[in-house]
Amino acid sequence: MSLRTQWKPLFWLAVAFAACWWLPVGQARFDQALGEALALVRWYAREHVIFCLLPAFWIAGAIGTFLSQQSVMRYLGPSAPKAVAYGVAAVSGTVLAVCSCTVLPLFAGIYAMGAGLGPATAFLYSGPAINVLAVVLTAQVLGPQLGAARALGAVVFAVMIGLVMALVFRRSESERQSVALQTPPEDPARPLWQNALVIASLILVLVAATWGPGDRPGCCQSVVHGVKWWIVGGLAALLGVQLAAWFAAPRARLVAVAVAVAALAVATSRPELPFLAGVVGLAYVTAGRDGELGDWFDQSWQFTKQILPLLLGGVLVAGFLLGRPGTEGVVPAVWVADAVGGNGLGANLFAAVVGAFMYFATLTEVPILQGLLGSGMGQGPALALLLAGPALSLPNMLVIASVMGWKKTSVFVVLVVVMATVTGLLFGALA
């Protein structure tokens, strides 16, 4: 073995050793950033994995198993009418109140089933960006101008990003689509409407479980939030009936799961326990079975193995660098506040880049921006952060790269940042 052939691993081992040797342990900012990283990943695990990601993995698995490739290609494939494909993809966020990480399994599912790169990336952007709750809250807290600009900008962004991605990668996409089109069509096991209703039930469980309380007492959102676990339970029961009637799921197992979940719901005031029991129960009903139910579990498990470790690792790094909302990581918050004052090119670009790498849970970007605006942030950078932040994050980028490669991911990120910067500049000049 020649040293000349081993210089790369030797170099990286030396770099890793030097980093360990000079770790600034004991310095206040480093220790605080490390604590923030652990605190953020713990918060993410508690608040988003059970109610957001686990249902999203099952939805992605259901898309890959129950929907035929021809169905996806008909509405989102390259041969679909562009108005239909981009229209469906661009307004999807009005239904899914999800963050930049929860949308990833859904994107991976439709992309793997043959959706065109353009509509798939339009969906990837629009899922977390065009959130009705977030747009309304933005208008209420930050003003109607920012709320309207965010809603209009997000829809336009989704369509433009999808069109540019399809144009830039038209050659590689044509090769991918030609392979997909050569796949012989399969006879559906049941009517499309039955498969669609099962997936719709799963999506409604996700939406209902993540519905938060209203910011004003007595509002409709608070009323819905007060009974949301009854709604989630009813939707879960409906899903069980559908699986028993249309998918030949073992009724004895479904009844056992229902009894266990009901018992937990009565015995505890912590909703995550019966919800998690329901998710585990769904695995108990589907794992190891022949046919579609077993395939559904396998697909969902593959998405979980691929996405969850990358997300948790990315959240850990994001927490170390930027901390949690209202706290600091290794990068001082005052640097951020000072850099986004005014409406210049530098301020807008900085806001877009920071927004793209920082992790925002659904709706948390609004109070963060409220504080930044109070500290002197310009209207343009505020919009740039609103358009780049919710749709992207460091964990999000890592997973997107594992699905469609770093080259396409880099172009997607650059498009979001550049468009957010330009839009912020224009809005800042007009505001």
For residue range 197-249, list pLDDT tens digits in order: 998 898 888 878 877 654 444 455 555 556 888 889 999 999 999 999 888 88
d(CA 282, CA 140): 39
Q: Helices 228-246 and 192-209: crossing angle, nearest 10°?
A: 160
Tokens, residue 79: 């041969």
Q: What is the reported pLDDT for 216?
A: 46
Q: What is the reported pLDDT for 236?
A: 92
Q: What is the reported pLDDT for 130?
A: 73
Angle at 167 between CA 162 and CA 173, to 5 degrees: 90
Query: CB of 420 within 8 A of CB of 158?
Result: no
pTM value is 0.71
Cα dist. 351→54, 337, 389 in Å? 31, 10, 9
Q: How many independent structural domains does the chain possess? A: 1
Tokens, residue 176: 């991918």
Cα dist. 179→8, 65, 186 in Å? 37, 19, 15
Residue 150 lies in a domain: yes
Residue 354 lies in a domain: yes
Cα dist. 248→195, 201, 284, 285, 290 in Å? 13, 17, 14, 11, 11
DSSP at 393: -
Residue 251 lies in a domain: yes
d(CA 349, CA 357): 13
Residue 119 lies in a domain: yes
Q: Which helix (H) or strand (E) holds 262?
A: helix 251-267
Residue 20 lies in a domain: no
Structural domain including 353 reads 32-173+188-211+220-430
Residue 15 lies in a domain: no
Extract the residue ranges of the chain whose pLDDT is less than 70.
1-5, 68-73, 78-79, 92-100, 131-133, 136-137, 176-189, 212-226, 325-326, 361-364, 367, 370-371, 374-375, 431
Angle at 387 between CA 381 and CA 392, to 5 degrees: 115
Residues 6+ positions from 2 with CB-CB distance below 8 Å: none
Q: Could you tell me which of 95, 86, 72, 161 has the C-alpha nearest to residue 125?
A: 161
Tokens, residue 260: 């266990």
Amino acid of residue 217: P
SS3 assignment, position 341: strand
Q: What is the reported pLDDT for 217?
A: 44
Residue 178 lies in a domain: no
Query: CB of 292 within 8 A of CB of 247?
Result: yes
Cα dist. 285→198, 288, 371 in Å? 15, 9, 47
Residue 100 lies in a domain: yes
